[in-house]
Amino acid sequence: MALNPNAPLDREGLDEAVQAVWSARRIVLACHVNPDGDAIGSMLGLGLGLEALGKEVTYLSVDGVPETLAFLPGIEKIQTHTDRRDFGLGVGLDAGDLKRLGESAEVVLSAPLVMDIDHHVTGGQFGQVRLLDATSASTAELVYDLLLALGVELTPEMAQCLLCGVLTDTGSFRFSNTKPRTMAVGGALIAAGASPTVIYESVYENASFGAQKLLGRAMDRMARSTDGKLVWSWVIQSDFTEFGATDKDTDGIATALRAVRGAEVALFLRQMPSGKLRVSLRAQEPWDVAAVAASFGGGGHKLASGCSLDGPPEAAIAALLVALTAPA
């Protein structure tokens, strides 16, 4: 794989993506529900680049923006919904499939041309134009290549958003998805004015009091399989109420569970106001939790996926444990 970060990779779908952008004046961008740093960072980085080309851009995140990402340039542009349906191009980013765009999916599909930009390639692809690469560590890297191919000169603001996507989806370059070019792109973004220090402090050292209390409750409930390879925990609505916390305050708990020595897979469940349970699965090689999530109607990466189940938590965990067959 080429390491030159100043030239886009010759990706499948890149030429079509460039043509799609140039064909539209009004563009709507949408990221997945319960957005993370890659979803928001990729959307903002792309949108700021498109605006530099003179495009009129609408940014959608149905669940809003986590407080830990409020530092990102352009964050005030993001809306939870729009009544407009006059877009020439609709773009879904980092979603896995259309349903993970939530109510934004209908807006994206209202455009005559739809583009899917993603590094989750789990069978839920959509749109006439697809910029997809399961080997990419983040969607932000795909956006980076698209902006280069469009001839956009990266500003510090664009670079900051894209580096946030790269850093958060690689665990600050710790995860196994980190490739040589991932590091090269990170370096290019820093050279363009991005600050990894600001990103790290804002995302990882900026937890609310409620978030820390929820983490403590989850750690207290933590249980594991007899061999110690599977670890799980959950929080319910009474926990959120007790600590004055929200769903956004659960970020990072699944990763904290996986940090237990000997643990290969972590399951974290959080109860929504509807009673539905959102499940986060984190794993290490050679597990494939994307397949498990897909069996319950979810999806994601091989080592980081999610889905939704009905309660109670104990029954949902039992079902998940049955589905988690040890890899050969």
User: What was the pLDDT predicted at 123?
Assistant: 78
Q: What would the mean pLDDT of 229-245 be, rounded to a whole number?
A: 97
- What confidence tens digit (pLDDT) does each residue in 144-161 have? 999 999 999 999 999 999
End-to-end CA distance of the chain: 30
User: What was the pLDDT predicted at 300?
Assistant: 79
pLDDT at 1 over 70: no
Interatomic CA distance for residues 107 and 104, integer angstroms: 5
CATH topology of domain 14-204: inorganic pyrophosphatase (n-terminal core) (3.90.1640)
Q: Which architecture does CATH list for 209-323?
A: Roll (3.10)
pLDDT band for 5, please (50, 70, 90 cuts).
confident
Where are the alpha helices (H) located in 32-138, listed in sequence order? 37-52, 104-109
- What confidence tens digit (pLDDT) does each residue in 291-326 have? 999 999 988 778 888 999 998 999 999 999 999 986
Interatomic CA distance for residues 121 and 153, integer angstroms: 29
pLDDT at 269 over 60: yes
Identify whether the C-beta of residue 126 lies closer than 8 Å to the C-beta of residue 92. yes
Q: Where in the chain are the domains? A: 14-204, 209-323
Task: Name the pTM for this structure.
Answer: 0.83
Neighbours of 54 (CB within 10 A): 7
Identify whether the C-beta of residue 108 lies closer than 8 Å to the C-beta of residue 92. yes
